[in-house]
Amino acid sequence: MLPVECAGCRDRRPGLRHGVCPECVAALGALRPRAVRPTPAPPDLPPCVALGPYAGPLREALLAYKDHGRHGLARPLGVLLAEVVAVAVGEARPVTLVPVPDTAAAARARYGDHLGRLTRHCADRLRRAGWPVRVRRPLRALPRPDSVTLDSAGRAAAAESAFRVRPRVPSAPDGAVVVLDDILTTGATLAAVGRALTASGMSPTVAAVLAATEKRHRP
């Protein structure tokens, strides 16, 4: 078997399961979802729960999945996202998952809707565990700059006009409405999604993300 680069640590070795070495699998498995909040938090940001900080194997796996075409990581990352949802909603049932929509340009650059794939595997995992889960896409994304190139003020401005409610949105669902995203940075995107959902009658209960950036303090 030819060696393959581990998505978590970049070491090359044969026989990787889902593209991740046993050590990185253990590191990811040791992460426990917890409540997170950026400082300062933008208005209307729903409560947020993340699997872990945007660092180490989790960061590398997300980069490999999103930017380097490692689509086989969608399943294990989706399973991890399901763990975040389970902690985020507690006993609330049923659960409606609302992924943050990609722009058309971002979907083309990543060879498809990367968050849509994660959501599908997340929902499958929860359903296999007996959860009543549905996925809804009440929002569409409008063209906007790549957030990587923007500071916090730029992210907020871009997010403010980034989403529109689709026509004929279904009535508000029972149970928990969970917004799904991959990375929480300033919270501007999730706050904008929260406002758009609230305007459509689907107020989010919580946001579940895989990773949250941590502010670095200067010594």
Neighbours of 202 (CB within 10 A): 23
Structure confidence at residue 166 (pLDDT)? 78
Q: What is the CA 75 to chain-centroid distance, rounded?
A: 13
pLDDT tens for the 219 residues of the chain, in order: 445 788 989 888 776 767 888 889 999 999 999 999 999 999 999 999 999 999 999 999 999 998 888 888 999 999 999 999 999 999 889 999 999 988 766 666 666 788 999 999 999 999 999 999 999 998 888 766 555 555 566 555 666 667 778 777 666 678 999 999 999 999 989 999 999 898 888 899 999 999 999 865 444
Instruction: With CA atoms as reference, report the closest residue to 186 among 35, 38, 34.
Output: 38
How many CA atoms does the CB half-sphere of 75 hold within 13 Å?
5
Q: Do 73 and 61 contact (CB within 8 A), yes or no?
A: yes
Neighbours of 124 (CB within 10 A): 15
| 158: Cβ contacts below 8 Å, ≥ 6 apart | 144, 145, 147, 150, 188
